[in-house]
Amino acid sequence: MTDERAQVLEVARRGREAAKQIRQLTRNEKDAALFAIADALDANCAQIVHANDSDVARAREAGTAAGLIDRLTLNTERVAAIAEALREVAALPDPVGEVVRGYTLPNGLQIRQVRVPMGVVGMIYEARPNVTVDAAGLCLKSGNVALLRGSSSAAATNAALVEIMREAIAARGISADAIQLVPGMTHDSTHHLMTARGLVDVLVPRGGAALIQNVVENSTVPVIETGVGNCHVYVDKDADFAKAVQIVINSKVQRPSVCNAAETLLVHKDIADAFLPLVAAALHDCGVTLHADERATALTAPTGIPVEPVTDEDWAIEYMSLDLATGVVDSVDEAIAHIQRWSTGHTEAIVTDSQSAAAAFIAGVDSAAVMVNASTRFTDGGEFGFGAEIGISTQKLHARGPMGLAELTTTTYIVTGDGHVRG
Amino acid sequence: MTDERAQVLEVARRGREAAKQIRQLTRNEKDAALFAIADALDANCAQIVHANDSDVARAREAGTAAGLIDRLTLNTERVAAIAEALREVAALPDPVGEVVRGYTLPNGLQIRQVRVPMGVVGMIYEARPNVTVDAAGLCLKSGNVALLRGSSSAAATNAALVEIMREAIAARGISADAIQLVPGMTHDSTHHLMTARGLVDVLVPRGGAALIQNVVENSTVPVIETGVGNCHVYVDKDADFAKAVQIVINSKVQRPSVCNAAETLLVHKDIADAFLPLVAAALHDCGVTLHADERATALTAPTGIPVEPVTDEDWAIEYMSLDLATGVVDSVDEAIAHIQRWSTGHTEAIVTDSQSAAAAFIAGVDSAAVMVNASTRFTDGGEFGFGAEIGISTQKLHARGPMGLAELTTTTYIVTGDGHVRG
Give A397-410 as a DSSP string. SS--EEE-GGGGEE
> In terms of CA atoms, which chain B residue is nearest residue A385?
B105
Are B222 and A374 inside 8 Å of each other by CB?
A: no
User: CA A315 to CA A255: how far, in whole Å?
Assistant: 19
In the predicted model, what is the mean pLDDT of residues B72-99? 96
Residues of A within 8 A of B364 (CB-CB) are: 20, 24
Q: At A18, is the secondary structure helix, strand, or coil? A: helix
- State the smallest CA–CA distance between residue B127 and chain A in angstroms: 26
In b/e form, how buried is each residue of A380-403, taking b as 16+ CB within 10 angstroms?
bbebbebebbbbbbbbbbbbbbbb
Are B119 and A396 inside 8 Å of each other by CB?
A: yes
Are B371 and A417 inside 8 Å of each other by CB?
A: yes
Are B222 and A23 inside 8 Å of each other by CB?
A: no
Looking at residue B358, what is its pLDDT?
98
Number of C-beta neighbours around residue B155 at 10 A: 16
What is the rounded end-to-end Cα distance, in angstroms, of chain B? 50
Looking at residue A105, what is its pLDDT?
95
What letter would DSSP give residue B197?
Answer: B
Does an H or E element contain A265, and which? strand A262-268
User: CA A350 to CA A136: how far, in whole Å?
Assistant: 37
Are residues B247 and B374 in contact, defined by beta-carbon separation less than 8 angstroms?
A: yes
What is the rounded end-to-end Cα distance, in angstroms, of chain A? 50
ipTM: 0.93
Summarised one tens digit per residue, pLDDT across range B346-378 is 999 999 999 999 999 999 999 999 999 999 999
pTM of the model: 0.92
In the predicted model, what is the mean pLDDT of residues A197-202? 93
Number of C-beta neighbours around residue B70 at 10 A: 11
What domains are there in chain A, each with its CATH number? 3-226+399-416 (3.40.605.10), 231-383 (3.40.309.10)
Percentage of residues of chain A with pLDDT beyond 90: 86
What letter would DSSP give residue B29?
Answer: H
- State the smallest CA–CA distance between residue B47 and chain A in angstroms: 36
Are B109 and A374 inside 8 Å of each other by CB?
A: yes
Summarised one tens digit per residue, pLDDT across range B172-228 is 999 999 999 998 767 778 899 999 998 999 999 988 888 888 888 889 999 998 878
Least CB-CB distance to A362: which of B250, B370, B414?
Answer: B414
- State the smallest CA–CA distance between residue A299 and chain B in angstroms: 25
In b/e form, how buried is each residue of B343-382, taking b as 16+ CB within 10 angstroms?
bbbbbbbbbbeeeebbebbbebbbbbbbbbbbbbbbbbbe
Looking at residue B42, what is its pLDDT?
98
CA quadruple A391, A393, A398, A403: dihedral sign: positive
How many pairs of residues across A and B have Cβ atoms under 8 Å apart?
204
Are B410 and A397 inside 8 Å of each other by CB?
A: yes
Least CB-CB distance to B414: which of A370, A395, A415?
Answer: A370
Residues of B within 8 A of A364 (CB-CB) are: 20, 24
Are A246 and B370 inside 8 Å of each other by CB?
A: no
Q: What is the mean pLDDT of chain A?
A: 95
Residues of B within 8 A of A223 (CB-CB) are: 222
In the predicted model, what is the mean pLDDT of residues A97-113? 96
